[in-house]
Structure 1
């Protein structure tokens, strides 16, 4: 037998000179200072500090990560602390491709479910209630599902018991069926403003004592994330909710390990792919610690996570950009080791999705899994110093917020006494400021808006009745969409959108500055039009009047108002 010669290890970076961190800081400072005025250069430490990025929840990203002096063991999938995954990933079925269906027409939903399953979806998610499928129609919607092949889960805000009973009746038709009955009393009370009723949990768990592949409880943390909670707070509330369910079930005589098995988490995946990956890794670590503290066998401590593209990041205007956000979120969820992933259709803000938008949603994750090969490796980001450091920070932030909720009496009391609402309110206020000044840009909305866009026409969803104290969704783009709506109302009354004359002034980078002004106006749905050429020729910085008003312009915008006396942005 011929033995292949052993090849030397590849030294891809051998020709690069070695640099110390001190040298890197000096090189980085030289680059930063190129864009600063002469004599105002930053020292190495200040230059590096200027390159740090702040994330929501008090997290901070450094410009450079290096191997720690005493790195913690990375661990392995399927073992404590479960950071690297609940189990080894199956290369053939790396995660569950789970599609959401909420069309109230049972026949339409039944057809859509079958189409999705025939084209790559591996499980079904029905949303039931006033804003989804009626409980009585669950059986009809799932009539064509091969229950031994495709798991089915349900969610509901206002009819959880009815939804779980309806799904249980369907799943009982097959001994090999699997899924989740979707009970989440804390989530339901948070979303509707009602009272938390934990009573149905124990009965549902006992009913499934001989059905090991069916679970009873889903902690749907999206209710907090969609309302505006930071990523770390969303996961902290999820852990606190899971702990509340464990305590209740144990008090009802349910074995704690059995109760632990029944809990699945549904969390938001955002367009920050690395934060999403780190968050899922951190959630598994924290939940495994909870399991360890109550005596759950190690093999059973891994959290089951269903990641859903976050509704808060979706935009109504230029909805096609939602496909890009969903792709990043799905990639992050894959890196983080989600057990199931759902991609919301790009037109979900406008109403019920179409066949095309559902196809794009399912294909987003199918293409990532099968063509990018990201799914062939378990925990592909594991060992990257940035991801490991961010995972540590997120886990610490989750645990700190979880302890605050526990000090407030647990998640049920924290909802009642305003601790949860206050943390969400603080996060919304901080985020809205960044959105308003566009330091947190929204592509297609606050940056690079699409002029003359025609709104998508979709069938409307039924509205969910809620009380005054309900946690209602708070999308990031809502304020900018309100500006667009005001311009649309003006256009309906006057026959044209508001118009602004934007002259090109004789200042440095005049053309670029005019483009910036035009884009800023388009954000609010205002038409920017060229000013009169003769008048433009006479304009200079400091002019305060323009004859364009008499030429039919609703407003006259002077680029000089954006400049100081030196021509720099004011």
Structure 2
């Protein structure tokens, strides 16, 4: 007899049944350690969630496609124009104007000091058909007025334009270390400037709460959300104090969030941002309106080594921002950490979005994460954590300064980000958080990629280097703070690779490590592969071979002859636990007698004392500090 329904034929298991099945597979292993993880904010991430219904749905202002952004950041107006037109003809419908001096320009940026130069850069661009956004910069007010003057000169009706003027003095304080005037005066000037632009017909947004400086300095998802909300609240209060109605002040603000490579947390972060902004509006007595949300893929996740992997990172980030509800999205080209991207890299960045829009049709479902238990739980948790970070920043307010500004001035923000940055650096150094192509699976024979042959502008930081924290020195009467560093996650490994490349250029070969394998191929393959991968992550050569098998063990004479022929100064023993017990001490003594510095792959256990006495200087194993190990290896191998 057939069942009445498919549900009756296949009844759903409950949570207890699922857990019993999991426990059988784990065979006594710890459930918490194996299947439960935690975000950088300490949010518990379960392996399974029940279905959920969103109590409040994070909605966009209008359903449909997100807008595809392209950067206008070449210093030459003519070259910037050509690159931008190619992007627009290829499917982009938004230009991000990144003037020289903007942090996001990464040492480059459009040089346009007058209307004529800006007119050249935007020649052939029809602003009424696309969106324009200005990257925040120290000269943001001048840049905004310059763009407004150009659009007026062209006779375009400002009311028909979508221009985000990108004024963000708080973001400039975070990224450059100073405000050019006191906060009350700045608030009055912002209200005046926005009022004048509105009187000329521009609709805005005019102010941006940009979280990129915090993200690049190591911010967690909750810290980024807290900074975004605290910045927006500071602008609301400043504009209201300057005489602007609160609803008009609200409509003057847009947001820039970072789309990173953690798909679940990025989607939840974007959804949480919309809910938090609605809550802020409610607290102000306003009827909530959807935020204007720009997204940009993560600078800190880009790598200079094996940069093709950046294509995968950008795809995950783009997918996450689209699913999370971004209105506008800019994908950083995969070569951005190496220099100013060329037309090919820009085309790939653009097409990453277009494929997800046109072929994957991501835009056709509004908030596809709604009702998914995992996403709803993470969204709610980030709302709670982000609100807590906002309150923490607000408690720093005083002496006429809003919370976020006072927290930057006192170093409160910098200290919190430094703690997170150090924790992340430790996870990367120990490869608990691996970076494909850099700390894991490095490619010493990688092909070079091309960037535009253009040196960074004088006085600017090159694209591939960190901006170190420093106290800004500014004229008396301006507000100063320690600027936030801009740091990519892969930099420690890249420094080591660069050092090895310099050695190779000077000596004709890389510094090398001899893999002193013990026993048969089956005995040493796992640890030899681990050691080779580790050393190559620092640019050191560690050639593989078939080993030195002998009667009942290893041919020590053949091993020593191979070591001497290699010219290496560092030898790393690789074998099985049984092989170490039988042969490691003798092999280490013999290698040391030949002048080798001896390491061993694996944890020594009870053999540590005898191995140390035999001459083993260090042990490399899963969970060790790989960066520190590679620094020490360089000191030996390149000596």
Normalising by structure 2, report the TM-score. Answer: 0.79
**Contact conserved, 1:139 with 1:166, CA < 8 A, in 2?**
no
Asked if residue 512 in structure 1 is aligned to residue 541 in structure 2, the reply is: no
Alignment of 1:155-234 (within 5 A): 155-172=135-152, 173=154, 174-175=156-157, 176-195=160-179, 197=181, 198-199=186-187, 200-210=189-199, 211=201, 213-234=203-224
Match of 2:49 in 1: 65
Match of 2:583 in 1: none
CA displacement 1:48-76 (0-9 Å, x = unmatched): 55311122122221011014xxx6x525x
**Contact conserved, 2:342 with 2:450, CA < 8 A, in 1?**
no
1:538–1:375 CA distance, 2 compared to 1 (3 A) = same
**Contact conserved, 1:201 with 1:216, CA < 8 A, in 2?**
no
How far residue 488 of structure 1 moved from its aligned partner, in angstroms, is 1.3
Unaligned runs of 5+ in 2: 102-107, 398-402, 462-466, 472-481, 576-599, 608-619, 623-639
Match of 2:70 in 1: 99
CA displacement 1:498-553 (0-9 Å, x = unmatched): 1112244327653233222211111111111135854888965999x944442212
Q: Distance in 2 between matches of 1:537 and 1:184?
A: 73
Equivalent residue for 2:456, pick from 434, 456, 461: 461
Match of 2:535 in 1: 521
Alignment of 1:352-363 (within 5 A): 352-363=340-351
**Contact conserved, 1:204 with 1:216, CA < 8 A, in 2?**
no
Alignment of 1:78-157 (within 5 A): 81=56, 83-90=57-64, 94-130=65-101, 131-136=108-113, 137-157=117-137
**Contact conserved, 1:205 with 1:215, CA < 8 A, in 2?**
no
**Contact conserved, 1:405 with 1:414, CA < 8 A, in 2?**
yes
Q: Distance in 2 between matches of 1:53 and 1:512?
A: 27
Alignment length (residue pairs) = 536
SS of residue paired to 1:189: helix
Larger Rg: 2
SS of residue paired to 2:41: helix
CA displacement 1:249-281 (0-9 Å, x = unmatched): 100001111010010101100011121111011
Q: Distance in 2 between matches of 1:129 and 1:511?
A: 52
Between 1:196-205 and 1:219-228, the stretch displaced more is 196-205
Match of 1:563 in 2: 602
SS of residue paired to 1:333: helix
**Contact conserved, 1:171 with 1:178, CA < 8 A, in 2?**
no
Equivalent residue for 1:239, pick from 229, 246, 267: 229
Q: Distance in 1 between matches of 2:206 and 2:193?
A: 6
Superposed CA RMSD in Å reads: 2.6
Alignment of 1:53-452 (within 5 A): 53-67=37-51, 74=54, 81=56, 83-90=57-64, 94-130=65-101, 131-136=108-113, 137-172=117-152, 173=154, 174-175=156-157, 176-195=160-179, 197=181, 198-199=186-187, 200-210=189-199, 211=201, 213-298=203-288, 301-409=289-397, 410-452=403-445
**Contact conserved, 2:68 with 2:94, CA < 8 A, in 1?**
yes
CA displacement 1:168-209 (0-9 Å, x = unmatched): 112333112221111000111111111264344112210232
SS of residue paired to 2:378: helix
How far residue 461 of structure 1 moved from its aligned partner, in angstroms, is 3.0
Q: Distance in 2 between matches of 1:388 and 1:214?
A: 32
Equivalent residue for 1:472, pick from 485, 494, 498: 485
1:494–1:58 CA distance, 2 compared to 1 (3 A) = same
Q: Distance in 2 between matches of 1:537 and 1:401?
A: 65
